[in-house]
Structure formats: structure tokens, C-alpha cells
């Protein structure tokens, strides 16, 4: 029996470590079962809030893990702790390592032209024997172009990967995954955001200490202030503050009656 999901900001999250996610995917692939991994963070929870279709998209995924320290902190305040943060940027490495060991072919979808190919080279160099079945860097708006989408789907079917990393950002990547799963029902799809760019080395990732402290957003903001300023400072930070404050109030409400009875 797998543990029940923990609900944070209206999103169900699996209380699992990164190694447990990898083990579940390997077990499922050996059994011929596919799936979808989503990695919600504060921004994804904010976007999904109040949108039943996006909430359902997250809920329907076979594995959902917290890619964001505020969600880990919120779960702890609610008294339903998560083992820790599990990011798409880490899973691209750990799942590729498992793919090399078990001879599972992988596919990289997303990023600017040349980026998924660079990521494929970096992964193959790190994990000898890794089979990269294919890569794709589709142009902007491809998902609304029937011919481009059909071409992508045909290429993916021909490549027949077992693990597909889709780095297009939420909700585009996860809506696309919902479509592509019909073509490869036994494959695992990972909505991984900027992970392909991180693996390629075209976008730097925050130092480990900043990730552990929940400050990866500050590192990314410093590197891309124009693109990310409004998202982080106007939307995500206030949302995270409200989320944590709400969880703290719930915690005190639960503790106060208990003290009164004592």
C-alpha cells in the first residue's frame, strides 16, 4: 500500500523521496505500465488554483511530488510532513541513471534548438550506455498547429522511448503529455520545466545551499530579472506568504483546543 497523498494548496502530493520515485518508475516499466510525473511548485499551485481542469490534470498524474520548499514547509505546518523536495531538475539525472542501468531508452522534448541535443550529450557522458531514442525542440505555438503536432507525435511513436522528459513549462507540458500518452501508453512522461536546459548547461542552476534553503527562486530572479520579476515578486511570493500564514493559523487552531482540554 502506498501512503496517501498530502494535500497542500489544494494539490495532492506523494510523500516520497527521489529514490522512491525512481524505484516506482522502474517497477512500473518492468511491468509494462506507463505514467505521468508532475512536479508542482508554488507557481504551479497558484496557476492551478481555481481552475478545475488544471487541478484535475495534476490529480490524475500517477506521481506528484513537491518541487518547491514552501510546499514542504506548508505540509510540515499542517502536520502532514513530506520527506523533502523532489525536483524535475534532479529527476532528469536520477531517472536517466536508472534508464542506463535497465536499458530504458529516453527522449528529451523541449528547449530551444540544440538544447535537448546538448542535454542528451551531457546525460550520455554521465551515464555510459544510456540510450537516447530522440530529441525535439518544437517551435513556439506548435501545440496549436495540427501539422506540427502530428509530426511530433509521429516522431515520438517511431522513437518508442520508455521515459520522456518534457520541458515546456506548466501547464503546456502537462497538457501535451495528456495527449501524447495515448501514443505511448507504456512510457513514463516527466513534466520537468527547465530541467533540460539545466542538464544542457544553457541555464545555470542555483548552488545546493540555496536550493536547500528555499532560495532557488532568488538565484533565478537574479539571472533573469525581466522575465521572472513579475512572476516571483508580484505573484509567487505573496501567494507563498498567504499559503504559509494560512497553514500556520490552521496549526494553532488545532493546538489551542487540545491545550484547552488538557
- Reading the chain (262 residues) residue by residue, the pLDDT tens digits are 678 999 999 999 999 999 999 999 999 999 999 999 999 999 999 999 989 999 999 999 999 999 999 999 999 999 999 999 999 999 999 999 999 999 999 999 999 999 999 999 999 999 999 999 999 999 999 999 999 999 999 999 999 999 999 999 999 999 999 999 999 999 999 999 999 999 999 999 999 999 989 999 999 999 999 999 999 999 999 999 999 999 999 888 876 665 555 5
Q: How high is the pLDDT of residue 261? A: 58
Using CA atoms, how far apart are residues 212 and 49, in angstroms rounded to an integer? 26
Per-residue H/E/C for 159-193: HCCCEEEECCCCCHHHHHHHHHCCCCCCCEEEECC
Q: How high is the pLDDT of residue 2? A: 76
Query: Which helix (H) or strand (E) element contains residue 36?
Result: strand 35-38
User: Positive or negative, the Cα torsion across 205, 209, 215, 219?
Assistant: negative
The partner residues of 10 in beta bridges, in order of sequence, read: none
Using CA atoms, how far apart are residues 198 and 126, in angstroms rounded to an integer? 14
Beta carbons within 10 angstroms of residue 59's beta carbon: 15
Q: How high is the pLDDT of residue 260? A: 54
Q: What domains can you pick out in the chain, each with its CATH number?
A: 6-246 (3.40.50.2300)
Whole-prediction pTM: 0.93
Q: What does DSSP assign to residue 154?
A: H
Query: Which helix (H) or strand (E) element contains residue 27?
Result: helix 18-30
Using CA atoms, how far apart are residues 94 and 165, in angstroms rounded to an integer? 12
Q: What is the pLDDT of residues 118-144, one digit of tens each?
A: 999 999 999 999 999 999 999 999 999
Amino acid at each position: 500500500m502506498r501512503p496517501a497523498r498530502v494535500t497542500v494548496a489544494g494539490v495532492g502530493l506523494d510523500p516520497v523521496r527521489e529514490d522512491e520515485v525512481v524505484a516506482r518508475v522502474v517497477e512500473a516499466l518492468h511491468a509494462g505500465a506507463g505514467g505521468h510525473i508532475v512536479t508542482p511548485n508554488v507557481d504551479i499551485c497558484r496557476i492551478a488554483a481555481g481552475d478545475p481542469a488544471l487541478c484535475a490534470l495534476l490529480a490524475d498524474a500517477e506521481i506528484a511530488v513537491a518541487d518547491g520548499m514552501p510546499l514542504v514547509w506548508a505540509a510540515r505546518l499542517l502536520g502532514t510532513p513530506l520527506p523533502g523536495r523532489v525536483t524535475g531538475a534532479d529527476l532528469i539525472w536520477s531517472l536517466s541513471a536508472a534508464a542506463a542501468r535497465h536499458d530504458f531508452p529516453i527522449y528529451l522534448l523541449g528547449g530551444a534548438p540544440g538544447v535537448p541535443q546538448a542535454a542528451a550529450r551531457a546525460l550520455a557522458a554521465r551515464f555510459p550506455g544510456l540510450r537516447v531514442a530522440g530529441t525535439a525542440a518544437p517551435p513556439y505555438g506548435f501545440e496549436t498547429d495540427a501539422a506540427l503536432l502530428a509530426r511530433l507525435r509521429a516522431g515520438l511513436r517511431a522513437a518508442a522511448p520508455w521515459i520522456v522528459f518534457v520541458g515546456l513549462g506548466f501547464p503546456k507540458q502537462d497538457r501535451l503529455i495528456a495527449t501524447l500518452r495515448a501514443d505511448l501508453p507504456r512510457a513514463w512522461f516527466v513534466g520537468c520545466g527547465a530541467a533540460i536546459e539545466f542538464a544542457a548547461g544553457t541555464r545555470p542552476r542555483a548552488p545546493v545551499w540555496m536550493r536547500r534553503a528555499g532560495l532557488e527562486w532568488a538565484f533565478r530572479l537574479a539571472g533573469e530579472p525581466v522575465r521572472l520579476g513579475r512572476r516571483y515578486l508580484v505573484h509567487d511570493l505573496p501567494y507563498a506568504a498567504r499559503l504559509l500564514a494560512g497553514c500556520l493559523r490552521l496549526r494553532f487552531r488545532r493546538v489551542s483546543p487540545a491545550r484547552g482540554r488538557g
